[in-house]
Amino acid sequence: MNGSAGKFGGGTTPRQVCSARGGAASSLVVWAIPLAALAVRATEPRSQQTMLLAYPETRQQEHVDDYHGTLVPDPYRWLEDPESEETRAWIRAQNQLTFGWLERLPTREWLLTRLEQVWNYERYGLPQARRGRYFFSRNDGLQNQSVLYWSDGLAGEPQVLLDPNHLAPDGTVALTGVVPSDDGTLVAYGLARAGSDWQEWHVRDVAAGKDLADCLRWVKFSSASWTPDGQGFYYSRYDEPPPGEELVAANYYHKLYYHRLGTPQSEDRLVYHRPDQKEWGFAANVTDDGRYLIIEVWRSTEEKHQLFYIDLADPAQQVVELITGFDAAYTFVGNEGSRFFVLTDLDAPRYRLAAIDLAHPEREAWQTVIPERQDVLQQVTHVGGRLFATYLHHAHSRVEMFTTAGEPLGELALPDLGSVSGLGGRMDDTETFYAFTNFSTPATIYRYDLATNRSEVFRQPQVPFNPDDFETQQVFCTSKDGTQVPLFVVRRKGLPMDGNAPTLLYGYGGFNISMTPAFSPARIVWLELGGILAVANLRGGGEYGREWHEAGMKEKKQNVFDDFLAAAEYLQQAGYTRRERLAIQGGSNGGLLVAAALTQRPELFGAVICQVGVLDMLRYHKFTIGWAWVGEFGSADDPREFEYLYRYSPLHNLRPGTSYPATLIVTADHDDRVVPAHSFKFAAALQRAQGGTAPILIRIAESAGHGAGKPTTMLIQEQADIYAFLMQTLGIDPPADAAAP
């Protein structure tokens, strides 16, 4: 159920963030790009070559906001209106400049080819089993969207159930959730278009391979949960937004509904809502035994929840408020009759599993089934009568098994240092599936047999490179206040430690999200180029539990930036790289991270990749789900919180005349998580402030959103542009088979 600025997934829920439109479009001066403006200064060494740019003129308006007595100009407020002709003309002008610059880079075509080669491997999603039928996704390598399959039995012939690639010619319709009914005869599934968080849910008959008439709209931050009779399911939605404001209007008043098959959405039964609590959201889950409807209540991205339930055997079906007060994290894991298993950080900052007897729900009667340890208890699943506990040990996975009484059953052996996901299933299953991955190995799917206590490979990708060519180290650097900060460092074996390797430092640092080892085909290409990948485990994340998270929240957010800056300095001092060859990258909350690092220490980096970033910290909460991030960031509406937000807000801390490093800002026109106005305003301000010659470019994708569900073609094109930008600005020599510069 996790969610955040970077983590509100299509089928997940947040546990997880005065308009002046300006004048007519004619006031925007769109400069033609002369060939001379795109010419490489070949008289300089390649590492110093830049491309001179004539930026589009961005109109400034006289708009000033009064924040508790502090007057703050907002000259680019008009860019917050994505539908105005003036904004659209600005987008066209910026893309003309950016793509004109990128398309002339000598390595871009080679990168497109190599990325396509590395991306072209078969990959599978984790199977879901229902009464002998298995449902799973598969991508043959370069399909824009993965295809949903089903089979009778594990050895059965896979059959296509739904191919999203046929739903849009450009591949921009994505499958966001798949929930089979208990008997496996029907599947509820969600679709998102052009990267938006909004979903439509449909129902498909498995045997017939056709949809029923049911269509549910305006669903967001919700999955579906079937009733045992297969006659309908629970889901949550918002009211339909005003026309034209679908991608910017604030989302309030989540409502929990029951949809009965064969009836229109207008007749769905409202199960629960709180008109007195506009920020509350609801995630519903029917227990495996069909007895209870669990309602997890969230109100922001804070790790604080409430837990309600309905006894479905009770004709009155009253909502029972089991846990109230939003005082800690509570995640329902499973049940044995009226005994509920709940993962919580109450009195356990690194989490424990508690058992609650509904006959005696008072807290003093709770029993600890799995106690808190030094390692963070990241996830617990209840499958086949046992508990699978996934721990984080210095940001990589360990898995142990327990009885439902808490007796240890041993450890699940993992092939290497890496990350585990999955281990799901139902209380009567005899098997579970999990995925293992790390920085150089794509996800391998394993099947674990509960009867034999053995794992076997279920699906393993064959990749067009040798994972053994690369190695991962974990090192620690010292932050400004003495805190030890972990770093994963990935490189090709035998790479010289001469302080000259181009290095890409990635970070996030927020919303209790842990940066564990993860595979990306794009990163393999970076490593093949002789680059180093460094991934920092910053405060604000969940690597060491609640205290580590809270040390990077609100007024302590500067700790996150200090950790990241310390990592950048360490990589140079330890002989991995030098300033001119160090790039930083982050997206969403990580976009805020790298933009803050840019404004605070511009001299420390050679290049910056800022993707879908939260960059205006005074107004982020005014749009879509941004209000839900106030628990993480604070709000400029509060005088005390305004002070620290204003102190680090990237948009408000650019200094005119400063020599900023080469910067590529990446966003998308349908991003309704972090609205693109953040990137628009920051790009305009940074281009105006730039006192050096390094390029400041913004790449604005069309028919794309925050990232989830982006078609493979778009992913490859975006990565090729990012790496071409880095190769040019960091002075990375192209491979021998690339086009000559």
Q: What residues act catalytically?
A: 588, 706
Report which of 23, 25, 5, 27 is spatially closest to residue 14, judged by C-alpha positions: 5
Locate all alpha helices (DSSP H) within 83-191, ordered by sequence.
85-103, 108-119
**C-beta neighbour count of 60 within 10 angstroms:** 16
Dist CA 571 CA 579 (whole Å): 9
**Per-position DSSP letters for 350-394, written without gaps between them:** T-EEEEEETTB-SGGG-EEEE---SSEEEEEEEETTEEEEEEEET
Dist CA 277 CA 626 (whole Å): 17
Q: What is the DSSP letter of 512?
A: T
Are 356 and 344 in contact, with CB atoms under 8 Å apart? no
CA distances from 299 to 236, 252, 740 (A): 14, 10, 55
Q: Give the CA count within 13 Å in the CB-facing half-sphere of 726.
A: 27
Here the tokens at position 584 are: 């930083």
Backbone φ, ψ for residue 317 (5° rounding): 45, 55
Here the tokens at position 306 are: 């409430």
Q: What are the residues whose beta carbons fall under 8 Å from the beta carbon of 169, sequence distance 6 or more?
A: none
**C-beta neighbour count of 205 within 10 angstroms:** 13
Give me Rg for the CA atoms of the chain. 26
Dist CA 446 CA 453 (whole Å): 12
Secondary structure in 3-state letters for 45-60: CHHHCCECCCCCCCCC
Q: What are the residues whose beta carbons fall under 8 Å from the beta carbon of 212, sequence distance 6 or more?
A: 186, 202, 203, 204, 205, 261, 262
Q: Residue 609: what residue type? A: I
Secondary structure in 3-state letters for 611-641: ECCCCCCCCHHHCCCHHHHHHHHCCCCCHHH
Are 394 and 474 in contact, with CB atoms under 8 Å apart? yes
Here the tokens at position 570 are: 């360490």
Enumerate helices (H) and strands (E) in the chain, giving the number of each.
Answer: 10, 39
